[in-house]
Amino acid sequence: AEKLESVYTRHIYTNRYEQKIFENCLENTIMNVSRSENLPYDCVRGIYTRIADICIEHLMTFKEEIEILGIDEISIRKGHKNFQAVISNIGGGYVIDMLPDRKKSTVLKYLQNLPKRAKQRIVFVSIDMWEGYFTATQEALPNTTIVIDRFHVMKNLNAAITRCRREIQRNLPKEIRDKYKGYRWVLVKNEENMEEEDIAKLELMKKDCPELKHLYELKVQFQDIFNHSRKAERADLKLKVWEKKVAKLNDPNMDVFLKLLNNWREWILNYFVSKKVTNAFVEGMNNKIKVIKRVGYGYRNKMNFRRKVLIECGYNNLKKSKKLIFLR
């Protein structure tokens, strides 16, 4: 029998049709595609898996292009449990891999197994303050500059401010305390993201309670250091002034944050050395990954979850900036 060039050996569908099935699976669940195309579920899953694995294999060849590596994580279970590390090319704007967990040993092995040329090319590694990421990076990529992501630092400050707010509110007169119901996010929300109602709540809080007003002002001053400082030396001087103001509060919650700031100071200040590298892209990808997880009803199979993430947050993002094809 004559072979058709457009048909895979051992497959009954043309390349073009299989690619259509694959692309439909990017927008829908495999079950929905199976129903819409009137194909068996296992058939659609097989097509998706086969083409996805080819794309992921191609994605892996771009490890040697990474100059700014991002390491973050996503919780795959409710209650912030069962974390998986997400590895990204921050400069390229795409996820490069997803590990089965975030243990130091797992991350270390992954970094050690990167191609030699990839290790030589990486200049900055952006991480949060997870000790496992830090020590794994130091051991596997000793010549890189570690940058603590500023948004994770801010997240810790906001958590400290929230604990302070709760304690302050407990000691307020009941008539004032009752007014603050529904004000949970006001102090930690960025002003540029506030609605008119949020701004009104903030102004009321600042008017009624000088302590909360002072906390908010300290938060804004901290943000300004990162937004407006250009050099690490200048930022360090501003941080020292800010720390003195915070120390005067004699608040144990804020003291915990000051200790964290001091412990990670060198790598936090590398934010300015790196020309302001952040994991903001990775955080955005994490939100997309959560949507993938939700649409896929949790993805109990980690390999299937990884495959879906690497296609939608890795290969697809890479494809937008480069001339790539789905099929070889």
d(CA 129, CA 132): 9
Q: Residue 94: beta bridge partners? A: 89
Specify whether the CB–CB gap between 111 and 97 falls below 8 A.
Answer: no
Q: Which two tokens stand for residue 114?
A: 């990167």
Specify whether the CB–CB gap between 201 and 208 falls below 8 A.
Answer: no
Q: What is the pTM of this model?
A: 0.87
| CATH number of the 62-149+277-321 domain | 3.30.420.10
Specify whether the CB–CB gap between 161 and 213 falls below 8 A.
Answer: no
Q: Residue 14: beta bridge partners? A: 7
The torsion angles phi and psi of 301, rounded to 5 degrees, stand at -85, 115
Task: State whether the Cα torsion 20-25-28-31 is positive or negative.
Answer: positive
Would strands 81-89 and 124-127 be described as parallel, antiparallel, or unpaired?
unpaired
Distance set, CA 76 to CA 73, 101, 141 (Å): 9, 10, 27
Residue 2, pLDDT score:
38
Enclosing H/E stretch for 34 = helix 30-37
Question: What is the pLDDT tens value at each position of the chain, 328 positions in all?
Answer: 333 444 444 567 888 999 999 999 988 889 999 999 999 999 999 999 999 999 999 999 999 999 999 999 888 766 556 789 999 999 899 999 999 999 999 999 999 999 999 999 999 999 999 999 999 999 999 999 999 999 999 999 999 999 999 998 888 888 777 777 777 888 898 888 888 888 888 898 888 889 999 999 999 999 999 999 999 999 999 999 999 999 999 999 999 999 999 999 999 999 999 989 988 887 778 788 888 877 765 466 778 889 999 999 999 888 876 645 544 4
d(CA 102, CA 110): 11
What's the count of helices (H) and strands (E) in the chain, helices before strands?
16, 5
